[in-house]
Amino acid sequence: MLNRTLTKELEKRWNSGKALVILGPRQVGKTTLLKAMCEKDGKYLSFNADDNDVRLMFEDATEAKMRQIIGDSKTIFIDEAQRIKNIGLVLKLIHDQIPNVRLLVSGSSSLDIANSINEPLTGRKWEYNLWPISFEELTENLGIFEAKKQLESRLVLGMYPDVINNPADAIDIIKQLTGSYLYKDLLSYQGIRKPELLDKLLKALALQLGNEVSYAEISRLLNVDRATIEQYIGLLEKAFVVFRLNPLSRNLRTELNTNRKVYFYDNGVRNALINDFKPVEFRTDIGALWENFLISERVKHNSYHNWYGRTYFWRTYQQQEIDYVEETNSEFYAYEFKWSKKLKGFISKSFKEAYKPKEAKIIHRENFESFVGVQ
């Protein structure tokens, strides 16, 4: 088991008296992490809501029913809690009526769980995200030398724990993960009217990695209306498969402000969707892979270290662009990504004049460590 950055934060909140809610993609280690913490703490009950019997057990919950289920256990762990109807009300009942019971909850989709728990558990929970292994975590577990040795493999195969721990079977593991299991919750969601559209949309997004995504163009390509494309991308975000980056458009009339960029939380998932696991030296998309890797790693780092700023890309009609921009306390930080140090890169003069960034930097394979949180 690889040590996870989130462990320290969970330990700090372990006896807070509030529910600990962990969200994130399937197979990133939520169950492993929480069960390991439970086992260190002592006696606990664990329920996996992917099991229909477990879901039925928690239906029509009453205080008496919950007391009977919990018994004298002091810690209750409910895995894949989004599958339980009215889970928020169930958790509120346990929290309010059965004192001194520690509640741990994990979910692999924010489709229902975020909506269902936020109001009932207001003031009663600490909520966190767990992602695929971060490069920061890889370095802490293996050391910087070994982590950097794996960099090219990680760009192609990704950062899921099983992929890292089983290199000989990495491709088979990521292919299985990228099947319907990755977005299992979406397939049972009532808003999905055309399940086959998910695969086509994901492949289209994978092929456009690093480029701006036009909803209108994809709707024509897939022969569905634009509103459906927007809805499905939003659902894929809530299932922690992809995330969007919005354009920064504030000062210049020449700035683009309509299209979005869509990234994958994991490079391996993206490559599995297009069935391309060629090594880095044989790829024509290395620039896009590097960009996706760096931005997804930055998402992980910012999440684990409680950074709450805003993120963008920037582009003008004259094709001036910045790959990635962060804004915090009205200050801007601009980054361009180049796989090779030899590739020329620069931060647009127009951007500097308009936004006066506090930091403007080219990130390449020889200086990327601090950008992803490795000191």
- Kindly report, residue by residue over 26-35, the tens digit of the pLDDT: 899 999 999 9
Interval 208-217 mean pLDDT: 91
pLDDT digits (tens, 9 = 90+) for 62-109: 999 999 999 999 999 999 888 888 888 999 999 999 988 999 999 887
291 and 367 assigned to the same domain:
yes
Q: What's the token pair of residue 31?
A: 């169950």
Does 115 score more than 80 pLDDT?
no
What average pLDDT is seen over the chain? 91
Residue 259 scores a pLDDT above 90: no
**What's the rounded mean pLDDT across residues 185-205?**
79
Tell me the CATH number at 21.
3.40.50.300
C-alpha–C-alpha distance, residues 170 and 45, integer Å = 32
User: Using CA atoms, how far apart are residues 63 and 287, in angstroms rounded to an integer?
Assistant: 56
What was the pLDDT predicted at 252?
A: 67
Q: If you average pLDDT over residues 204-223, what whole number do you get?
A: 93
Residues 211 and 269 placed together within one structural domain of the fold: yes
Per-residue pLDDT averaged across 345-372, rounded?
Answer: 94
Split at pLDDT 50, 70, 90, the class of 41 is confident
Q: Which of 122-126, 289-293, 344-348 ranks highest by mean pLDDT?
A: 289-293
pTM of the predicted protein model: 0.93
- Please state the rounded mean pLDDT for residues 370-374: 96
Residue 1 lies in a domain: no
* One domain for residues 157 and 287: yes
In total, how many domains does the chain have? 2
Helix (H, G, I), strand (E, B) or coil at 169: helix
* pLDDT given for residue 109 in this prediction: 73
Intra-chain end-to-end CA distance of the chain, in Å: 23
Give the pLDDT confidence of 117-157 residue by residue, as tens digits: 778 888 899 999 999 999 999 999 999 999 999 999 999 99
The last residue of one of the domains, among 99, 129, 159, is: 129
Same domain, 80 and 148: no
- Burial class from Cβ neighbours inside 10 Å (0-12, 13-18, 19+) for residue 43 reads exposed
Sheet of strand 45-48: strand arrangement: 45-48, 75-79, 102-107, 19-23, 125-129
**What is the pLDDT at residue 189?**
66
Looking at the fold, whether 12 and 153 belong to one and the same domain comes out as no
Residues 296 and 319 in one domain: yes
DSSP state for residue 83 in the 8-state scheme: G
Same domain, 222 and 143: yes
How far apart CA 277 and CA 269 sit, in angstroms, is 11
Residue 121 falls within a domain, yes or no? Answer: yes
Regarding whether 293 and 360 lie in a shared domain, the answer is yes
Does 251 score more than 80 pLDDT? no
Q: What is the mean pLDDT of residues 200-222?
A: 93
Q: Are residues 177 and 230 in the same domain?
A: yes
Q: Is residue 262 part of a domain?
A: yes
Most confident of 59-73, 217-231, 248-262, 284-298: 284-298
Give the domain CATH number at 225: 1.10.10.10
Same-domain status, 140 and 239:
yes
Looking at residue 285, what is its pLDDT?
96
b/e sequence 321-338, b meaning 16+ C-beta within 10 Å: ebbbbbbeeeebbbbbbb
Query: β-pairing, 310-315 with 359-363?
Result: unpaired
The residue that leads in pLDDT, 197 or 132, is 132
Residue numbers of the domain that contains 194: 136-372
Q: Has residue 350 been placed in a domain?
A: yes
Question: Does 332 score more than 80 pLDDT?
Answer: yes
Q: How many CB atoms lie within 10 A of CB 26?
A: 21
| Domain endpoint, select from 74, 107, 129 | 129
Residue 189 maps to a domain: yes
Please check the confidence at residue 190 and state whether its pLDDT lies above 90: no
Q: Which of 129, 144, 162 is the last residue of a domain?
A: 129
Strand-pairing partners, residue 213, are 260
Pair (192, 71) in one structural domain = no
222 and 311 fall within a common domain:
yes
Question: Please, which pLDDT band fits residue 351 given cuts at 50, 70 and 90?
Answer: very high
